[in-house]
Amino acid sequence: MLLDGYACTAAAAVLHAIDRHALDHCRVAHRSAEPGHRRLLEAIGHRPLLDMDMRLGEGSAAALAVPILKAAAACHNGMATFASAGVSGKV
C-alpha cells in the first residue's frame, strides 16, 4: 500500500498509534512540502520513496512511485543466485 501525501499519512498514523506494526506493509510515495509531513514520517518510522517538494494531492507521487516499486521487484525477483550464476567461491 502506498501512502501518498500528508493527509493520507496523517490518517494512517492513527493505525500506527493503535498498533506500531499496522503500517508495516505500507510504503510512503513521497514527502510532501507540508511542514508537518516530515515530522509525521519520523513518528511512524517511514522513509519516502520520493522527496521532490510536491504538494499536489491527487495521487501524483503514487503514480511516479509505482514504476519504481515494480522495477525494484523485477530486479529482486530476476536476480540470479550465486549457484545459478556459477559463482563458486571468493575471488
Q: What would the pLDDT profile of 53-76 be if each residue is shown by its tens digit?
A: 877 767 889 999 999 999 999 999
pLDDT at 73: 94
Which residues share a beta bridge with 4? 30
pLDDT at 81: 82
Is residue 58 part of the annotated active site? The answer reads yes
> Domain residue spans in the chain?
2-85
Residue 90 reports pLDDT greater than 70 = no
Q: What would the pLDDT profile of 25-64 be if each residue is shown by its tens digit?
A: 999 999 998 889 999 999 999 999 999 887 776 788 999 9
Cα(2)–Cα(62) distance, rounded to whole angstroms?
7
Residue 91 reports pLDDT greater than 70 = no
The DSSP bridge pattern shows strands 2-4 and 48-50 to be unpaired
Q: Residues 14, 21, 58, 81: which is the catalytic one?
A: 58
In 3-state terms, the chain is what percent helix, strand and coil (to 5)? 50, 10, 40
